[in-house]
Structure 1
Amino acid sequence: MGENNHNHNHKEQKLSFYDKSNKPFSSSSSSSQCSFTAIIVLLIFLSYLLYSFSFISFINPYSPSLIPNSLLVPVIRLGSGQAPEEKTDIKHIVFGIAASSDLWKHRREYVKTWWKPNGEMNGAVWLDKPVNDSVSSSSLPEIKISSDTSSFKYRYRNGHRSAIRITRIVSETVRMLNGTESERNVRWVVMGDDDTVFFTENLVRVLRKYDHKQFYYIGAPSESHLQNLHQFSYGMAYGGGGFAISYPLAKVLEKMQDRCIERYSDLYGSDDRIHACVAELGVPLTREVGFHQFDVYGNLMGLLSVHPQAPIVSIHHLDVADPIFPNTNRVKALKRLMNAAKLDSASLVQQSICYDTTRQWTISVSWGYTVQITRTYMPARMMEMPTRTFNDWHKRHDYTNVAFNTRPITYTDCQRPRVFYNSFVVKSSSSDTTISEYLRYKEWYPTCDWGIPDPSDINRIFVYKKVNPDRWNKARRRDCCRLMPTTKKGTMVINVTACANDEIVAYSDK
């Protein structure tokens, strides 16, 4: 009887169930619900599968895409038939050189030290009026005559109206190129003066870092703090040091520059007019410390021998500074520096520091330019500071008027450095190693009672160094120099190479 009751109850359970709300529904209703739910789940699964397949087809170039062509984003892939864009090279740069007819015969010699003839470089020298120039046109840039600017206002007291002519060189260069076959290759317009010397391989290295299709205004302020602070601006690229303007920006500047110039008739120079117009376009200065205005007088050795860790791009004001090598004229001195630049432009005037612990000497190598030997230990942070071999732009020996740290040439008579200037550089025929010779500059040195050997006993230094054209594609770091054994009296041999990962440039007497 209990069993019958159990079976009866079991049958009732089959007939009805209860949901959470205690409302009965039949088993047939449950089956229909389950079938409907299964169909919904199946449809969702199929939709997801189709979506996943479409997405995979979209990202896979070898699978047919189910997405309409109008929704596809073009992607450049290797093998797609579209070659990657060529790296910026010298052929992509057009130079606009500001010059004066009165000074051109003299200053053209500066231009010849760096200009590559026979169509290897593009650009023009812009003069105020024609000159009788017998020099072959193939050895210098094409000469152009600037347009008349007498209609423009110029209100700067005791200034020079030529500033208006020079500031329009960018625009006139764009007009010269407009619609020509040469314009297709142009990526940058580079401005400089006729007494500006460019190290063109380093210029290319710098410009390669930037997208030439964007608006760029690249250069550097002056070394003179007062020039930047009062008459001009830290946000301005100085024209003597040179500056680069991307061609899209140059095209836009050309359209508005004449109207812009009229708004700034009270400014002094051409470069601050360029700066004012570029500022109206909202483009800031991109600083590159290798552009050198050199608003200084005297000996540039203190600046060039501790060049910043960046490629040297230009030097300016060669007429007011001493020749960069002694006992020669300015042009011959530049040619000597260019000989080193031809073999390893990326390393030109880059500093290395090492120590001769047996003789208690500190040695600083500025490759291709100088080697200096100083008695006693001088820490690296001190050796990185330029020595005050020059006067400021106001012809004063005022170290507070430069926009960087400096140090005295010597703290005591015994620490006066012995300077060795580069005499030649050659490249080994069997390897990528350069061999450069540096000869001691014979000048008066005070006596010293320290008991430390006199560096004047050294007359000649040979520096061995591997060519390193890719150094600026890596994190910046000074090279290291190491003394090499030699038995030749009066001679020192130095090897300059990349520092080891954990190498420390510090004096040790152990």
Structure 2
Amino acid sequence: MNHRLFTSGFGFASLKKIPKSLRISTMKSNFKDPEHPWTFSKLMVMFFLLISISYLLYSLKFITSSYTCNPNPHTTQHHQSDSVAIFPSGLTPNLREKTNLSHIVFGIAASAKLWNQRKDYIKLWWRPAQMRGIVWLDEPVEIDPEDEEVLPQFKISSDTSKFKYKNAKGNRSAIRISRIVSETLRLGMEGVRWFVMGDDDTVFVAENLVKVLQKYDHNQFYYIGSSSESHLQNIYFSYNMAYGGGGFAISYPLAKALEKMQDRCIQRYSSLYGSDDRIQACMAELGVPLTKERGFHQYDVHGDLFGLLAAHPVAPLVSLHHLDIVDPIFPKVSQVEALQRLKVPMKLDPAALMQQSICYDKNRSWTISVSWGYAVQIFRSTFSAREMEMPSRTFLNWYKRADYTSYAFNTRPVSRHICQTPFVYYLSYALYNPFKNETASEYVRTTPNLDCKWKMADPSKVERVEVYKKPDPHLWDKSPRRNCCRIVPTKKKGTLVVNVGLCEENEIVE
């Protein structure tokens, strides 16, 4: 910057080149010349004024350039390259669009030996026109032409013989399964936000899975799933591990980070048992903890799931697993037929599926528990909500023992008193009334009459229960709370009518 001192064209630098005597005499002559408009004092004032104005202009320019409004102040060349990796080339994503099924890619671990009996589970929840995913098999299988239209794409997992496996009780297929997320990532699908892992005997409730994933920023590192129902299983493996059969979700950037280091990682953990503990070991090295969602169900139990399903936690039902091990969830039908029946309420109101409501028929001293879309129970006498929200022990633990201390949650015993045995009504049908914006579901009793001597109203006279409820797709956008149920007066013989819905102001279960 060159501040001019004289109008004659001499700058500050050129002034230094003039002999000192000439400079002084010139200044003195100007000072003494009454006709010259500039005096020495005026020149000094102008000098400092010009410097001040120039400095002020320079400062304003600096401030303006430093604080220019940047719509994306964090965007650098490095961040731009990262966003290209998150959203592959050729795709222009709508960043404000909520996560939906098109943003999810499923990786399904399957076995060639069990394929023919387990493919029907996948057919129950898979939607070819709306979903993307791969069934990863260990060996080629013969695929029916009809199955190709209703099932995901099939691929054979890559060879894993170069990896060490030293667990004497396990199977080295665990290495293959642990690499499914990475192998799916390498396929280069566009617009992926989440990779969801599951087994071939896992059933997902798609709408509830989407609702859970919408809560999280897919641009961040997230590892989402749940633990085992078995306390001992969690101790043997980890409470910080998402169990693969129950399913888990990994965000795209985390999957990308995992893929870069996973092969080196799993070599370090050759003594581990399964695939999901290998995933968790790598997550620990990446520093990413498990984000627990209670709706992913491993079901490391045996026997009847009724107690667990009838008292489902206040969380969206996302998955069911180990369907070959447990009893059919509806009586007197196969497991696939039972799950087929569950698809009806799943379609009508997925957010409410299996959600428990508790209310009391005070005139008859009954306790009513509604597990919407599944079953209704009527108990003689009054049971507190605290008791009713605990699953009853209708099942055995993973080691086939009736040991309540082996569960990772509270349970209550099945009453041995004949008068406190619940009357159970299973879903018969469900339909939607568009004029009332209401679902109607019927539940029919399956338990026999019981010879109770108590002098009180007998539930055996109730043959069916009708439940009316308005669907609430935004149920899980609110703070978690059980719906309330109310007994509705009716003249229908042998019928109990119940209304289920959001709790009204000051409405409590007492």
Quickly name the TM-score band, shorter chain normalised. Answer: 0.7 to 0.9
Alignment counterpart, residue 333 of structure 1, candidates 329, 338, 363: 338
Paired residue for 2:427? 422
Aligned: 1:94 with 2:105: yes
Aligned match of 1:106: 117
Partner Cα distance (1:227, 1:111) in 2:
26
SS in 2 for 1:184: coil
- Give 5+ residue unaligned stretches, structure 2: 1-44, 74-92
2:130 is matched with 120
Superposition deviation, residue 259 in structure 1? 0.8
Q: Using the TM superposition, give the Cα deviation of residue 69 of structure 1 relative to its aligned residue in structure 2, in angstroms.
A: 7.6
Residue 75 of structure 1: how far off its partner (Å): 6.2
Alpha carbons 1:421, 1:439 under 8 Å: kept: yes
AA in 2 matched with 1:107: R
How many Å separate the matches in 2 of 1:84 and 1:400?
A: 47
Query: What does residue 475 of structure 1 align with?
Result: 479
Q: CA deviation at 1:123?
A: 0.4
- Please state if 1:216 is matched with 2:226: no
Structure 2 vs 1, CA of residues 83 and 336 (structure 1 numbering), >3 Å: closer, same or farther? closer
1:452: Cα distance to partner?
1.4
Alignment check: 8 A CA contact 1:174 1:250 kept:
yes
- Which stretch of structure 1 is more off in the superposition, 401-410 or 263-272? 401-410
- Counterpart of 1:503 (choices 497, 507, 510) is 507
The one of 452, 456, 459 equivalent to 2:460 is 456
Q: Are 1:128 and 1:145, in contact at CA under 8 Å, matched by a contact in 2?
A: yes
The answer as to whether partners of 2:449 and 2:460 remain within 8 angstroms in 1 is: no
Query: Contact (CA 8 Å) 1:243, 1:291: kept in 2 or not?
Result: yes
Matches within 5 A, 1:28-427: 67-68=64-65, 71-74=68-71, 85-117=96-128, 119-134=129-144, 135-175=146-186, 177-178=187-188, 183-229=189-235, 231-410=236-415, 412-427=417-432
Secondary structure class of the residue paired with 1:467: coil
In structure 2, what is the Cα distance between the partners aligned to 1:352 and 1:75? 47
Amino acid at match of 2:119: R
Matched to 2:473, the amino acid is P
Measured in 1, the distance between the counterparts of 2:452 and 2:215 equals 49
How far, CA to CA, are the matches of 2:400 and 2:449 in structure 1?
24
CA distance in 2, matches of 1:153, 1:390: 37
Q: Secondary structure at the match of 2:260?
A: helix
Deviation at residue 442 of structure 1 after TM alignment: 3.0
Aligned residues of 1:105 and 1:133 also touching (Cα < 8 A): no
Q: CA deviation at 1:138?
A: 1.8
Provide the rounded CA distance (Å) in 1 between the counterparts of 2:64 and 2:94.
26
Aligned partner letter, 1:123: G
**Aligned partners of 2:228, 2:300: CA distance in 1, in Å?**
6
Q: Distance in 2 between matches of 1:363 and 1:128?
A: 48
2: CA distance, partners of 1:354 / 1:195: 35
Q: Taking structure 1 as reference, are residues 153 and 387 closer, same or farther at Cα in structure 2, changes over 3 Å only?
A: same
SS at match of 1:355: strand
2 CA distance for matches of 1:342 and 1:411?
37
| Alpha-carbon distance change, 343 to 459 in structure 1, aligned in 2, over 3 angstroms | same
For 2:258 and 2:308, locate their aligned partners in 1 and report how far apart those are by CA, in whole Å: 34
Instruction: Tell me by how many angstroms 1:503 deviates.
Output: 0.8
In the alignment, the residues of structure 1 paired with residue 334 and residue 416 of structure 2 have an alpha-carbon distance, to the nearest angstrom, of 31
> Residue 120 of structure 1 aligns to which amino acid in structure 2?
Q
Aligned AA (1:215): F
For residues 241 and 260 of structure 1, the distance between their equivalents in structure 2, rounded to whole angstroms, comes to: 23
Q: Provide the C-alpha distance between the structure 1 equivalents of 2:203 and 2:127, rounded to a whole number of angstroms.
A: 12
Contact conserved, 2:444 with 2:464, CA < 8 A, in 1? yes
Matched to 1:479, the amino acid is N
Aligned identity (percent) is 60
The separation in 1 between residues aligned to 2:212 and 2:95, in whole angstroms, is: 20
Aligned AA (1:74): P
How far is 1:133 from its partner?
A: 1.4
Shift of 1:501: 1.9
Q: CA deviation at 1:411?
A: 5.5
Quote the offset at 1:192 in angstroms.
Answer: 0.3
Could you list the per-position Cα deviations for residues 283-324 of structure 1 after superposition, in whole angstroms to 9, with x for gaps in the alignment?
Answer: 000000000000000000100111111101001000010000
> What is the match of residue 27 of structure 2?
none
Partners of 2:137 and 2:208 in 1: how far apart? 27
**Matched-pair contact (CA < 8 Å) for 1:370–1:422:** yes
The count of residues paired between Structure 1 and Structure 2 equals 438
Letter aligned with residue 171 of structure 2: H
Alpha-carbon distance, 1:83 to partner: 6.6
1:22 matched residue in structure 2: none
Give per-residue Cα distances to partners, 1:64-101, cap 9 Å, x unaligned: xx93387323169xxxxx97521100000000000000
2: CA distance, partners of 1:416 / 1:136: 44
Mapped to 1, the partners of 2:96 and 2:508 lie a distance apart of 41
Taking structure 2 as the reference length, the TM-score comes to 0.83
Counterpart-to-counterpart distance in 2, 1:308 and 1:490: 30
State the match for 1:7 in structure 2: none
Q: How much does 1:159 deviate?
A: 1.1
Q: Alpha-carbon deviation of 1:444?
A: 6.1
2:233 partner amino acid: Q
Q: Deviations over 1:186-205 (max 9, x none)?
A: 00000000000000100000
Q: Normalising by the residue count of structure 1, what TM-score does the alignment of the two structures yield?
A: 0.83
Corresponding letter in the other structure for 1:397: A
Superposed CA offset, 1:211-246 (max 9, x none): 0000100000100000001x2000000000000000
CA RMSD, 1 decimal:
2.2
Q: What is the CA–CA distance in structure 2 between the aligned matches of 1:420 and 1:355, rounded to whole Å? A: 16
Give CA-to-partner distance per residue, 1:11-50, whole Å, 9 cap, x none: xxxxxxxxxxxxxxxxxxxxxxxxx9xxx9xx9xxx9xx9
Tell me the amino acid that sits aligned with residue 497 of structure 1: G
- Partner SS state of residue 171, structure 1: helix
CA distance in 1 between partners of 2:486 and 2:416 (Å): 26
